[in-house]
Amino acid sequence: MDFKDHLLIVDDDERLRALLSEFVESHGFLSSSAETGDKALELLSCFKFDLIVLDVMMPGISGLQLAEKIREEKINTPILFLTALGSTDDKIKGLEMGGMTI
């Protein structure tokens, strides 16, 4: 059986979620998506993911708050933040919440 990496895409923008899902699937990955932090936490309680692509600026629970909750749940899946924010402070916050740099 051929197992593929499974990515979780979390973004409130439906169009962007669909585009990202289509892109990663066209490159041989499995993907699931969530439009809210609460939905992402629900999926994380049911499935194991190899990478989380996480929008920082979402209504309700922000991506940084979600990352903090994910780490509190002892989920060590790598997190890649998707954001237009680029200040040094923003980058430091992302790293402190368990994100990674590329």
For 45-102, the pLDDT digits (tens) are 999 999 999 998 888 898 889 999 999 999 999 998 887 655 556 556 666 666 655 4
pLDDT reported for residue 10: 96
Q: Which tokens is 59 given?
A: 């209504």
Please list, in sequence order, all residues whose beta carbon lies within 8 angstroms of the beta carbon of residue 26, skipping any fewer than 6 positions away: none
Structural domains in the chain, sorted by start: 6-96 (3.40.50.2300)
Whole-number pLDDT of residue 36: 95
Separation CA 40–CA 10 (nearest Å): 7
What does the alpha-carbon distance between residue 29 and residue 71 come to, in Å, rounded to a whole number?
Answer: 24
DSSP string, 38-75: HHHHHHHHH---SEEEEESS-SSS-HHHHHHHHHHTT-
> What average pLDDT is seen over the chain?
85
Site of tokens 């929008």:
55
